[in-house]
């Protein structure tokens, strides 16, 4: 059914390049060159005695505005073609990504979960889509049922740093039945489309730490 709907979408609404307006491409080869690729830059977020290493591929606020427009299409308009575009783009750059950046050994990808109500509103979870892209670079298992969002919260994009922290406190729940079947010594990779303050990632880390998980990092398409 999904393949049919994607085909129908392309047939009725053929792609125009978001940069220059050419047909049949999310971004044409010329406009793709305008994307400022970060080659996997990392930074650390410190809270108390805890450190969370974060990695991203793009700057959300890069000058062309293309990354923002692409991510919004994935996030709010269910544009699977854009997800496929990012998949192809990152796989082209695969040789630039080293396992010794923290992606060695057994890996579990944990997409930031959506509340069931928001999932129904959007029809899919963009973080899950991206997790399946990232595992093509560093092979691992995508876990969509390890963490659940137990309360419907205000969209993070509309809040400041303090508001984001309060908005997420106690909003995630870990599924212990799923955890019991996993290797706790593996690396748990928390996945989202954009990392801003890191509040969402830290809220997820708090739940993981309660269960004795000590190896984790955050990975996103872009940082803001």
Per-residue pLDDT tens for 10-49?
544 456 787 787 766 778 888 877 776 666 778 889 888 8
d(CA 55, CA 190): 10
**pLDDT 10s digits, 196-206:** 889 899 999 99
Q: Is 6 exposed, middle or buried (0-12, 13-18, 19+ CB in 10 A)?
A: middle
What backbone torsions phi and psi does residue 29 show, to the nearest 5 degrees? -55, -40
- Angle in degrees, CA 177, 180, 186, rounded to 5: 130
- Give the pLDDT of residue 66: 85
pLDDT bin (cut points 50, 70, 90) of residue 220 is: very high
- Give the pLDDT of residue 48: 84
d(CA 200, CA 169): 9
- Contact predicate 223/59, CB 8 Å: yes
Instruction: State what percent of residues in the chain have pLDDT above 90.
Output: 32
- Give the pLDDT of residue 33: 78
Task: Tell me the range of 74-78, 183-187, 195-199 where mean pLDDT is highest.
Answer: 183-187
- Contact predicate 52/202, CB 8 Å: yes
Q: Domains along the chain?
A: 37-58+97-223 (3.40.50)
- Give the pLDDT of residue 43: 87
What backbone torsions phi and psi does residue 116 show, to the nearest 5 degrees? -55, -35
What backbone torsions phi and psi does residue 200 show, to the nearest 5 degrees? -60, -45
* Residue with the two structure tokens 């930074």: 43
Task: Tell me the range of 48-57, 66-75, 167-176, 183-192 where mean pLDDT is highest.
Answer: 183-192
- pLDDT above 70 for 166: no
């Amino acid at each position: 059914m999904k393949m049919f709907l994607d085909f129908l979408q392309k047939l009725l609404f053929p792609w125009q390049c978001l940069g220059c307006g050419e047909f049949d491409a999310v971004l044409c080869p010329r406009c793709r060159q305008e994307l400022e690729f970060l080659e996997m830059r990392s930074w650390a977020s410190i809270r108390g005695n805890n450190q969370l290493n974060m990695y991203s591929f793009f700057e959300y606020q890069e000058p062309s505005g293309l990354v923002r427009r692409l991510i919004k299409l994935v996030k709010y308009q269910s544009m699977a073609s854009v997800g496929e575009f990012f998949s192809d783009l990152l796989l082209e750059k695969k040789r630039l990504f080293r396992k010794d950046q923290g992606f060695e050994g057994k890996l579990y990808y944990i997409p930031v979960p959506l509340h069931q109500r928001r999932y129904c509103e959007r029809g899919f979870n963009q973080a899950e889509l991206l997790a399946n892209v990232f595992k093509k670079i560093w092979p691992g298992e995508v876990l969509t049922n390890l963490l659940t969002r137990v309360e419907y919260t205000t969209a993070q994009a509309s809040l400041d740093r303090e508001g984001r922290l309060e908005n997420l406190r106690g909003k995630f729940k870990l599924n212990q039945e799923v955890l019991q079947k996993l290797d706790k010594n593996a690396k748990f990779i928390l996945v989202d489309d954009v990392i801003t303050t890191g509040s969402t990632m830290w809220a997820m880390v708090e739940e993981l730490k309660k269960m004795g998980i000590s190896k984790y990092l955050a990975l996103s398409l872009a940082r803001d």
